[in-house]
Amino acid sequence: MRFNRRSRLATVAFGVAEALRRHGIQAVLSGGGCASFYTRGAYLSADLDFILSKPARRAVVDAAMASVGFSREGDRYVHSKVRFYVEFPRGPLAIGGDWQVRPARHRRAGAELLTLSPTDCCRDRLAAFYHWKDRQSLRVAVAVAARHRVRVGVIRHWSEQEGKTREFEEFVREVRKARATGKHRGRI
């Protein structure tokens, strides 16, 4: 797969995931890149964070990334024609203390991309809001929930476990406001 300066985040994510898969590596898109994927660019991330499902040798990851034009610079992979860089944060795939995270599968033109589900993407962004008071992360979680069906009971339970019931209620209010504008579908 070839990328250029106009390659969109989703295109790069699918290409990287497919290159990794061809090298026997399974990885899940998480973090801001996942949020950007679900908001279709309403939120823009500069990086793609992939969590490896199981450990892989650095040389194999380097070869996979090189097969689509990325080279390693420190802890990140860069491409001369792509505005996004790729990182592989340490796993395992989890949101806070919840390790029961099941990735969502997306297919496009014969390629497969694993991501956090919309529900888990919201929880991932809400974690930053809950623990660091990051208002942008709240807005991103709202944008994801306003555009996709999320399992509000799962988010509520997790929020209670985190001791963040009041913040969860703010999230729900903001999602309702966003959906009331008529621009988004679904109910919460």
Give the separation between CA 137 and CA 141, rounded to whole angstroms.
Answer: 6
178 backbone φψ class: left, alpha, beta (φ>0; ψ -120 to 50): alpha
- Is residue 113 a contact partner of residue 35, using CB atoms and an 8 Å limit? no
Please, what is the angle between helix 165-180 and helix 118-132, to 10°? 120
Bond preceding residue 103 cis, omega within 30 of 0? no
Give this prediction's pTM.
Answer: 0.93
Per residue in 97-141, pLDDT (tens digit) is 888 899 999 999 999 999 999 999 999 999 999 999 999 999 999
Res 57: pLDDT: 97
Given a cut of 90, is residue 71 above it in pLDDT? yes
Mean of pLDDT over the chain: 94
